[in-house]
Structure 1
Amino acid sequence: MRTYLIDADKNEVIVDLTRTKKHSSELVEFEYSTIEDNKITNRQIIFVRRLAGQYFVSKDNKSWKKIPRQDLPKKMLNVDRVFDVYRGYKPSGLAGGNEGELITQMPGKIVKISVKEGDEVKKGQTLVIIEAMKMENEIKCGMDGFVKSIHVNVGDALDQGVLMMEVEA
C-alpha cells in the first residue's frame, strides 16, 4: 500500500509497502521502500511479532524490541517537519495539478466512480476507486464543490499522471 507523507510546504515522502509475508500466526515480515523525488531512498525489511498480546519489532529476525500498540496516525513528526499522513491516496491538489483536478498517482484500473457530472461533493468524499498493485485505493476530493467533468469510465486502465475528474468550487 502506498502512503504519502506531505508537509505544509507540499514536500512529500512516499512509503510503499511492497511485500507482506506471513510466517506464522505470530510473525509477519514487511518489505517497504521510501521514495523521494521519484527515487528509492531506502528499502528495508522489518519483522513484527505478537506474543502474549504485545508487539515486538526486529530488522534481523534475531534481536527484538518491544513497541507500543500503534493507532494509525493522521500526522507524523520528523525532526523539524510535521507531515500529514494519507494512506492509499493523495488528495487532489497535492498531485501537481490544480486543486480541483484528480490525477492518477500510479497506474491502475478504474473499479468504481461514485459520482456523476453536476453532483455536489464535499472535501474528503470518495470520488473514484482505483485498483493498483492488487489493492483498491479510494481517491478522495480535496475541496467542496461540484463535479465539472469526468474523463474516465469504469474498467479503464490508466497510466500515472492521467486527469480523471475535475471538481469546481
Structure 2
Amino acid sequence: MSEDVWLSDDQQRAWVRFISVVERLPGVLDTQLQHDADLTHFDYFTLAMLSEAPNRTLRMTELAAVTNASLPRLSHVVSRLEKRGFIERTPCPGDRRATNAQLTDSGWEKVGATAPGHVGTVRDYVIDPLDEQDVADLHRIMGKILGKLDPENRLRVQR
C-alpha cells in the first residue's frame, strides 16, 4: 500500500479532534434541550427552520432538505411535534400531492422560549472559545467540507 494513503501526523491529530467534536457536541446540545425544553436537538432544529420560513411554512420535502433529514425520519419527528401542537400539516395549495408543515402559534412560542438557552449552549461550547478569526475560519472550513458532502447544495446552508 502506498505511503500517501495514510494521514500525516498533523492530519491525524486534526481528524481525531474533529471526530471528538462531532461525537460529543450532539450530546451536549441534546442534553440542554431535553432538560430545558423537552426537545431533542433535531426537534428544535425542525421548529427553528420553520420559524425562519415565509409564513412559518415549508413543504415537507424542503423541510427535509434544510434539516438534512430523510422524509421518513422527518415525518416521524413532525408527527411527534404535531401531537404536541407545535406543527400542523396541511395540503400544499399549489400541488395536491405535496404536504406543507407549518409552525403553529404554540410552536412559535416554544421556539422563542427555547432559543435563549440553546444559543447560550452554542455560545458556551462553540462560539465563545473562539476569537473572530477562528469563527471566520470555522465558517470557511465548514463551507469547504459541506461543499464536498453536499455539492448540489440540497441542505441550503451554503448561502
Give the TM bin, normalised by the shorter chain.
under 0.3
In terms of fraction of residues, the more strand-rich structure is 1
Larger relative contact order (C-alpha < 8 A, sep ≥ 6)? 2
